[in-house]
Amino acid sequence: MSRFLQLVLDLFDSAPPAPKLPTNPPHGPAQGKDASSDTTFQQITVLGEPLAQVLPHAQFTHPRATRRIQLGHTDVAYAFRRSKRRTIGMAVGPDGLEVSAPRWVTLGEVESALREKADWIGRKLVEMGERQQQLGAARIDWRDGVVLPYLGDQLQVLLDSSATLKKNSAQFEEGPPLHTLRLGLPHHATPEQIRDAVQAWLMRQAKALFTERLNHFAPQLGVQWQRLSLSSAATRWGSASANGAIRLNWRLVHHKLAVIDYVVAHELSHLRVMDHSPRFWDTVHSVMPDYAQRRRVLKDELLPPWQ
Ligand SMILES: [Zn+2]
């Protein structure tokens, strides 16, 4: 395995896993076996409704779309790539439908797999669209008094240009009911200035907290991490390289400590097991028996976009 192999924990996890279809032969006996071992697949079948009721007259276009398919009344442009996996993979993320397939699967076979899963794809595209809309509604309005999530609590940002607070400095006061962050900015500060000042402060807290939590879990897992960098990737919470470098998304600081700890323990566990095999999850479990619950919270809780 590559020394610098990076493993990612991505936000696309938020959608239930895409159905895995055996691909060779597409309708062979292996399919039944595969389907029955996959709970998501079963769920889809149970929830099945006539296609026309599920698929809207609509068009969904992935920004990196390379192929297009008509599913019922719905026109879906999707990002397609060849992968080393042995099955056709489908995932619906914030950008739309992504499909991967092994090299030996023909495009015709890929398309028939997509038609077979049209119901699931349509549902997920609609759900994802609604989710994105909710996120849009929750957009942060950067002004004096704005409230945002911080460590699972609420943090209110107050502008304070009084002489007691130095220009561009920040002062944190712990709640309850609300934590407050006083920023040394004038009341006429622009939304961008406020956002940047809050971000700078959150990133400083993130770096200090993540370092502390990495040092807490590393000895328990018997691993050594080398370097922490903060990311602001739109689709990843964290990654780990075999050389001990850990990347964590600074926006994790919106979440409760229990959830942050899950991502920290997850990435550190990759320093022992570089994949998501049962052995990997056993490793996570060894230091965090309730990791599945925390993982679910991370998947379910929506964060407002940072803009
Ligand atoms: Zn992972």
CATH code: domain of residue 209: 3.30.2010.10
Nearest to 150 by CA among 44, 11, 253, 12: 253
- Structural domain range at position 283: 147-300
Are residues 161 and 246 located together in one domain of the fold? yes
Mean pLDDT of 145-165: 88
The answer to whether residue 63 is domain-embedded is yes
- Per the structure, how many domains does the chain have? 2
Q: Which pLDDT value is given to residue 230?
A: 97
The answer to whether residue 7 is domain-embedded is no
Q: Which pLDDT value is given to residue 34?
A: 32
Six token digits for residue 274: 């570089």
The confidence band for 36, taking pLDDT boundaries of 50, 70 and 90, is very low
Span from the CA of 225 to the centroid of ligand 1 (angstroms) = 15
Q: What percent of the chain has pLDDT over 90?
A: 56
Query: The tokens 């099945």 sit on which residue?
Result: 48
Span from the CA of 49 to the centroid of ligand 1 (angstroms) = 34
The answer to whether residue 251 is domain-embedded is yes
Q: Which pLDDT value is given to residue 37?
A: 26
Are residues 82 and 204 located together in one domain of the fold? no
Span from the CA of 148 to the centroid of ligand 1 (angstroms) = 28
Span from the CA of 201 to the centroid of ligand 1 (angstroms) = 28
The confidence band for 5, taking pLDDT boundaries of 50, 70 and 90, is very low
Span from the CA of 267 to the centroid of ligand 1 (angstroms) = 6
The answer to whether residue 11 is domain-embedded is no
Are residues 253 and 118 located together in one domain of the fold? no
Task: State the first-to-last Cα distance of the chain, in angstroms, to the nearest integer.
Answer: 38
Task: Pick the range with the lowest mean pLDDT from 128-137, 187-196, 279-288, 296-305.
Answer: 128-137
Are residues 222 and 271 located together in one domain of the fold? yes
The answer to whether residue 266 is domain-embedded is yes
Span from the CA of 70 to the centroid of ligand 1 (angstroms) = 34
The confidence band for 166, taking pLDDT boundaries of 50, 70 and 90, is confident
Span from the CA of 167 to the centroid of ligand 1 (angstroms) = 41
DSSP state of 18: P
Are residues 113 and 173 located together in one domain of the fold? no
Q: Which pLDDT value is given to residue 233?
A: 79
Task: Pick the range with the lowest mean pLDDT from 97-106, 162-171, 190-199, 249-258.
Answer: 162-171
Span from the CA of 165 to the centroid of ligand 1 (angstroms) = 42
Residue of higher predicted confidence among 122 and 199? 199
Span from the CA of 273 to the centroid of ligand 1 (angstroms) = 9
Span from the CA of 60 to the centroid of ligand 1 (angstroms) = 29
The answer to whether residue 244 is domain-embedded is yes
Span from the CA of 54 to the centroid of ligand 1 (angstroms) = 33
The answer to whether residue 122 is domain-embedded is yes
Are residues 132 and 260 located together in one domain of the fold? no
Span from the CA of 251 to the centroid of ligand 1 (angstroms) = 18
Are residues 289 and 251 located together in one domain of the fold? yes
Mean pLDDT of 135-159: 88
The confidence band for 163, taking pLDDT boundaries of 50, 70 and 90, is low
Span from the CA of 242 to the centroid of ligand 1 (angstroms) = 12
The answer to whether residue 1 is domain-embedded is no
Angle between helices 118-137 and 107-116 (to 10 degrees): 70
The whole-angstrom separation of Cα 161 and Cα 187 is 7
Mean pLDDT of 274-296: 96
